[in-house]
Amino acid sequence: MGIFNPPPGTEDILPGEVASWQFIEKNAGDVFSLYGYAELRTPVFEYTELFSKGIGEQTEVVQKVMYTFEDRGGRSLTLRPEGTAGIIRALADTAQQGGSPRVFYLGPMFRGERPAAGRKRQFHQIGVENISAPSPELDAECIAMLMHFLERIGIAKASLKINTRGDAADRANAGAKLREILLGKLDTLCEECHRRYERNAWRILDCKNPACCQVVSSLPPLDALFSETSRSYLSRCLDILSKQGVAFEKDQRLVRGLDYYAHTVFEVVHSGLGAQNAIAGGGRYEIVPPGAKNPVPGVGFACGVERLIMAAKSEGAGAIPTPRSAPVFIVSIGDQAKTLNFSLAQSLRAAGVAAVADFEDRSMKSAMRAAGKSGAIFTVIRGDNEIQRGCVVLKNMQDGSQAEIQTDGAAAEIAARLKA
């Protein structure tokens, strides 16, 4: 661990990379607002109970990865491991008065997982939540919006998987049937899956242990465990997506790791990533925020921004603009030149041209090296000689040519040359 490194699983987003982030954030806002969503910002920490109750006491997120701490007042707080629970808390009042807000959010989330490529302890999500009673049409719209967004940011090689978790009444029933089927196969399952069997048998479908995978692949079609109501809800959602030309795969083994889901669940995976290949996940849910009597129903998803960027880059990142450096670099020889160049830089900025003035006392050679490294299109050079003659030297950094331009109107002249 170098002293200049941030803690494991966290990273600096350097200036050269920020353009990709801003591009993704801007397009998320643009696409989501076409569907009537507005941004909501919630705190990065909440009362622990919000997550343990909302996400589910038995989930891996709650059991293993939350950053939980006691504050000075003895309250248990947790850095948000995901965005949905906090959003529901913030909107519960509106929802209980019959409102059906549509919001999107972006920001850091925290999970104390083993760091790996594409798996961070501080990562960023862009997500949406549509507070709404169960509706296959709204689920389909939410999924179509996700695919619209991915297409907009240049991600085409993404596969969408969809399944049902059954409606709230159906879930317990289907879970009991699954346990019945698995009972005869318990000997073959790993130790962790024995615990999963007791806590939430559906989690066994996610186990990576080869012996467990074999058991899972030998299971009869799981659709049959759900009621006719749940199955026809999913069919309706899939039917709408097909009519819209949204490609998907129905994946009976898709469970999702959070316990609040009911009905439709979905995940998008990308072939350009390694083992951590899920770029987005979501579904329909019901969450009872602490202190509320009734569950708040909704549908939503979240994308991992780091993974979106990796996916877009693996496809060539054609849509992501390359970061632009200031097109003008200004070199001063002597204090009087510095004063005049300070003003020139301000005039350029007032004309909308980004400029960086170098005020270090260094040799011409070293100043020109800095100009070259800066990525500027033009370098302005001014010393006593130029001051006496009322001009500055303008060097074109692309072809190396130099010209003298008059001090009066220099900013306008440079702006015009940049536009040419």
Site of interaction with ligand HAM (CB under 6 A): 82-84, 111, 113, 118-120, 123, 125, 127, 129, 257-258, 278-283, 285, 300-304, 306-307
Rank residues 246 and 278 by Cβ distance to ligand HAM and give the closer one. Answer: 278
Q: How far apart are CA 128 and CA 142, in angstroms?
A: 9
CA distances from 113 to 64, 273, 394 (A): 8, 18, 53
Nearer to ligand HAM, 131 or 394 (CB): 131
Minimum CB separation from ligand HAM for residue 132, in Å?
A: 12
CB 150 within 8 A of CB 272: no
Q: How far is the C-alpha of 376 from the C-alpha of 357, rounded, in Å?
A: 11
**Least Cβ distance, residue 119 to ligand HAM (angstroms):** 5
Residue type, 331: V
Distance CA 397, CA 404 (A): 14
Structure tokens at 61: 């997120």
Strand positions, DSSP E, 8-75: 38-39, 45-47, 67-70
Minimum gap (Å) between residue 205 Cβ and ligand HAM = 15
CB of 411 to ligand HAM, least distance (A): 45
Q: How far is the CB of 160 from ligand HAM (least distance, A)?
A: 12
Helix axes 15-34, 136-152, angle to 10 degrees: 140
Q: To the nearest whole angstrom, how small is the minimum distance from the Cβ of residue 142 to ligand HAM? A: 9
Backbone angles phi, psi at 285, to 5 degrees: -145, 170
Helix (H, G, I), strand (E, B) or coil at 198: helix
Cβ-based nearer residue to ligand HAM, 88 or 330: 88
Nearer to ligand HAM, 315 or 413 (CB): 315
State the distance between the two ends of the chain, measured CA to CA, in whole angstroms: 49
Q: What string of H, E and C letters represents the secondary structure of 323-366?
A: CCCCCEEEEECCHHHHHHHHHHHHHHHHCCCCEEEECCCCCHHH
In 3-state terms the chain splits into helix, strand, coil percentages (rounded to 5) of: 45, 25, 35
CB nearer to ligand HAM: give 258 or 368: 258
Nearer to ligand HAM (CB atom), residue 20 or residue 125: 125
Residue type at position 269: V
Q: Which is nearer to ligand HAM, 121 or 395 (CB)?
A: 121
By C-beta, is 279 or 320 nearer to ligand HAM? 279
Q: Please state, in angstroms and rounded to a whole number, the distance separating the CA atoms of residues 122 and 81.
A: 9
- The secondary structure of residue 284, as a DSSP letter, is E
Tokens for 250?
Answer: 């129905």
CB of 113 to ligand HAM, least distance (A): 5
Cβ-based nearer residue to ligand HAM, 280 or 368:
280
Q: How far is the CB of 284 from ligand HAM (least distance, A)?
A: 8
CB of 72 to ligand HAM, least distance (A): 29
